[in-house]
Chain A
Amino acid sequence: MKLPLADVAPVIRSKNAGPFHLTFDIMFADPGVFRHLMDTGQISRERFARSYGLRPDDVRWTVYEPALGVKATIRRSSASGDPADGDVYGCQQHAPLLLWDVDLPGSLTTAAGR
């Protein structure tokens, strides 16, 4: 069953990691959903890079099992608060992730809160 990522991941956020980097977190509530999406490659560094017009090498990617989450960190194109910067806290950069289509087997959609 195809669903937007926002419906299966309760935490999708971006934030500054210091003035020169942005960090993105995606976290799941259900271990089965998390494992399925990771194992099937639906949550990946490559997909993240594509969403932001970056190369995979530009993305530091960490899978963090204890929080059932992944973290992506990228360099800011301009430092927080520069005249060219439009988001001082870096907290509104996650929106493209909300719309990722993910495919879950029916047995997991209930666990994902559907």
Chain B
Amino acid sequence: MSQTVVLSPTGIVGYGFPERSFVAGLEAGPQVIGCDGGSTDQGPADLGRGTLHVSRDACYRDLELMITGSRRLGVPLLVGTAGGAGSAPHVEAMREVVVEIARKRRLHFSLATIASDVPKTYLHDRLDAAEVEPLDGGGRLDHEAVESCDRIVGVMGAEPYQEGLRRGADVIIAGRSSDTAIFAAVPLMNGEGPGPAWHAGKILECGASAAVPMAATDCLLAWVRHTAFDVAPCNPELGCTPISVAAHTMYENESPYLLKEPSGTLDTRRCEFRSIDSRRVEVTGSAFAPASRYSVKLEAVRLIGYRTICIGVCRDPALIAEADLYIERVRKAVSDRVVDTYGPGCEYRLEIREIGKNAAMGPLEPLATVTGHEIGLLLSVVAPTQQQADAILAMARTHALHGEVSGRQGLLSNLAFPFAPSDIPGGPVHMFALNHVVFPGSPTEMFPVRLEQL
């Protein structure tokens, strides 16, 4: 019976994994090792700034084990969404790590990098050809919105990986990818069933998160066949159960039944999850319906300004009781001082969050009253320049420190600042900008593959 064994060492490159688990995984004879490098989970900053989601040192440690393991077995290593967000600087940073590891370990292999950056000219052309569609809540896209983006990536499917492998790549460092595509690429090339290949990919993308106890920083194996797949963790102290595997099918998706991929939709409605032994689960019934049109999801960010923050803690019950009113007075005072300083028309955003009341849930918070004996005020200013953000935050801090409180007399100082200086510049602020898919001419045209011999 044909099958493809896939090894996922950890949830995200750099999250770490026990070396013993990985060695046990290699002993199972995987035909491919795959690892996800990130997502949009951490917010828009990494994509906007080109910064790594996990430290370079932690990525180096994980990649060194993965590369030496992959070379010892002579099987490919596929890394997707390199560096956390998968844009050009992320792919280049991870490429440099791979080159350094190859030199240090005296390894020679063929390295492919796959870019996922979307040139604005390409998107303008697709817009003109009516080959762009909004996703839920995305609205109609126009040329102006495309122009306002500072960085745009497309989420690739399995095909760019397959092209890299056909061209002889031993290690692939790819830009933004569907997490599942990293793991589905090789089983699909080997002719395993597309339903099992994509569903196994979904389970593999978070390391051993689908195991009990849950372990995003441990290794998971899948055996992908024509009509079914099995999964089991490599660490003998962990196990998979039908419920733990089914539960991971639900994770971070809008729906547990229909999971959208660039080339179609994974349908898990008829799946059955069955224990093979105390650690291994078999999944049957996964189906994959090819899409009528191949679609690539876009992710983009736009620079909206620069941030400075400060945190102060209030312990006075009189202020806690009237905190909303107090904050309103701070807002008004800041607004007046900004006009005094910069004239009318200076666009800034001042957020004052009450930690201890509604800082986590904002408008979704159902509890209206504060029950604690202290609240934290988190002041955040986003302004057109860092200098203005610093200046306006300092105004907000002054008014938040010395504001009036009912029943208190004299010059009041109402906040305990845990640090000096109290104000912390936060640098550039980006917002997610697009929620659209583009229909490319081919699955690979947006994702150029570049090969080099190390």
Contacts and interface: CB of A to CB of B under 8 A. Distances in A.
Chain B, interface size category, equals 35 or more
A81 interface: yes
A12 interface: no
Chain A, interface size category, equals 35 or more
Nearest to B257: A62
B366 A80 contact: no
Contacts of B41: 16, 80, 89
Interface residues of A, dominant DSSP:
loop
A85 B251 CA distance: 22
Closest 4 CB pairs of A and B: A81-B43, A67-B246, A66-B246, A88-B43
Contacts of B349: 83
A23 B304 CA distance: 27
Contact of A20 (B42, B137, B382): B137
A67 to B, nearest CB: 4
B93 interface: no
Contact of A87 (B243, B361, B432): B361
Given A66-B273, A80-B43, A23 B366 contact: no
22 contacts: A15-B251, A16-B252, A17-B254, A20-B136, A20-B432, A52-B366, A66-B246, A66-B268, A66-B271, A69-B247, A71-B256, A73-B255, A79-B431, A80-B40, A81-B44, A81-B432, A82-B431, A86-B362, A87-B361, A87-B362, A93-B361, A95-B360
Nearest to A95: B361
Contacts of A79: 44, 431-432
A28 B382 CA distance: 43
Contacts of B44: 19, 79-81
B374 to A, nearest CB: 18
Interface centre among A20, A62, A82, A93 (most CB of B within 10 A): A82
Contact of A23 (B242, B254, B271): B254
A85 B250 CA distance: 24
A15 to B, nearest CB: 5
